[in-house]
Amino acid sequence: MITAIREVRRAKGLTLEEVAARCVPPTTAQTIGRLETGTRTVSVAWLNRIADALGVAAADLVKLPERADLPVAAILDGDGAHAPRHQQAVTPPQPAPGLVAVLVSAGAGDYRAGDELWCERLAPGDFARALNRDVLVPRPAGRFMFGRLIGRDGEKLHLLPPGAGARQQVVADPPWIACAVRLVRTL
């Protein structure tokens, strides 16, 4: 199996030692290096452990022939654009189970017309993970509310809709919310 472990690790700015320490249970940098280079076979269990350590989906670590990676031509920082020191590639986003999309048809707050927001559906027990993040909240009769989750009081969620001068809204006991996890914007 051809993996992108090294590319993802480098893109995240992590060393072999840091990834090894983040694995549960921790492993050695030498083991991660062998898995990266293919001198040791990558099992599904190892792929899942390393994906968790890198904060990505296991599918992001597998190179599939039908999924093209984009070569990194330059890295942009405060000093301008520079060529990467090592060959790097980024994997285009792919949808994961449990995601829903929000399409922006007119500018609202930080969002522009044409933006796509990919949102992860969360059950009520996971709502706290979305604090200070933008969320989509279902309302009765097929309506929705969108805004920054700024507080939670028992079963009530406090949202601040995007845009200047927006007033806080309170939603009681939604069955689920969807937290924005990726912005897809065409330039």
Position 22, amino acid: R
Q: What is the pLDDT of residue 68?
A: 67
For the entire predicted model, the pTM comes to 0.59
Is the pLDDT at 25 greater than 80? The verdict is yes
- Domain range 1-65, its CATH number among 3.40.50.300, 1.10.260.40, 3.40.190.10, 3.40.50.2300: 1.10.260.40
- Tell me if the bond preceding 25 is cis, omega within 30° of 0: yes
- Tally the C-alpha atoms within 13 A of residue 183's C-alpha that lie toward its C-beta: 13
pLDDT-derived band at 134, boundaries 50, 70, 90 = very high
User: Where in the chain do CATH 1.10.260.40 domains reside?
Assistant: 1-65
CATH for 100-184 is: 2.10.109.10
Q: What is the pLDDT of residue 64?
A: 64
Position 179, amino acid: C
Q: What is the pLDDT of residue 40?
A: 87
User: Where in the chain do CATH 2.10.109.10 domains reside?
Assistant: 100-184
Alpha helices in 28-122 (DSSP H): 29-37, 44-54
Q: Mention every residue, 6+ apart, whose C-beta is less than 8 A from residue 83.
A: 73, 74, 75
Contact 161, 102 (CB under 8 A): no
